[in-house]
């Protein structure tokens, strides 16, 4: 995955979903929803201080419910980027009176409860001769 992230001709959009594709083979447009992480992926250094103070425990989907995870968690052990994400359905911090502990302990101030999904439009062409 790191090689993909470093490739000059690949734009890696993590925590994203393809919303729409139009056009035809060789000439296309896509719309991608980059889901809000509620943690700044460029600033987070994965120190885990936020994880340590989170009081929420829910079944971990990645482990098919056989273990638990916090409301703020690393999606995969080798996640790229190596940054935490908050599941706002589980988080108590969107009501800071109830919690907000991760926001308090994050020295880099990476937590943003007001983050919104971002929509990215890309157009491209692909020709088999472009392989590299």
pLDDT digits (tens, 9 = 90+) for 43-56: 999 999 999 999 99
What local confidence, expressed as pLDDT, does residue 52 receive?
96
C-alpha 107/C-alpha 111 separation (Å) is: 10
14 within 8 A of 41, measured Cβ to Cβ: yes
> What is the reported pLDDT for 14?
87
Give the pLDDT mean for 21-28: 87
pLDDT-derived band of residue 10, with 50, 70 and 90 as boundaries? confident
Give residue-wise pLDDT tens across range 61-78.
Answer: 887 879 899 999 998 777
Q: Domain coordinates of the chain in residue numbers?
A: 2-123
What is the C-alpha separation between 28 and 30, in angstroms, rounded? 7
């Amino acid at each position: 995955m790191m090689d993909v992230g470093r490739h000059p001709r690949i734009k890696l959009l993590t925590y994203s979903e393809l919303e729409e594709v139009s056009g035809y083979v060789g000439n296309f447009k896509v719309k991608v929803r980059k889901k809000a992480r509620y943690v700044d992926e460029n600033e987070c250094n994965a120190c885990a201080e936020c994880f340590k103070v989170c009081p929420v425990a829910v079944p971990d989907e990645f482990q098919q419910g056989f273990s638990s995870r916090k409301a703020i968690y690393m999606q995969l052990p080798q996640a790229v980027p190596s940054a935490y994400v908050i599941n706002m359905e589980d988080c108590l911090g969107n009501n800071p009176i109830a919690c907000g502990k991760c926001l308090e302990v994050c020295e880099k101030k990476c937590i943003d409860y007001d983050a919104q999904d971002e929509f990215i439009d890309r157009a491209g062409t692909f020709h088999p001769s472009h392989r590299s």
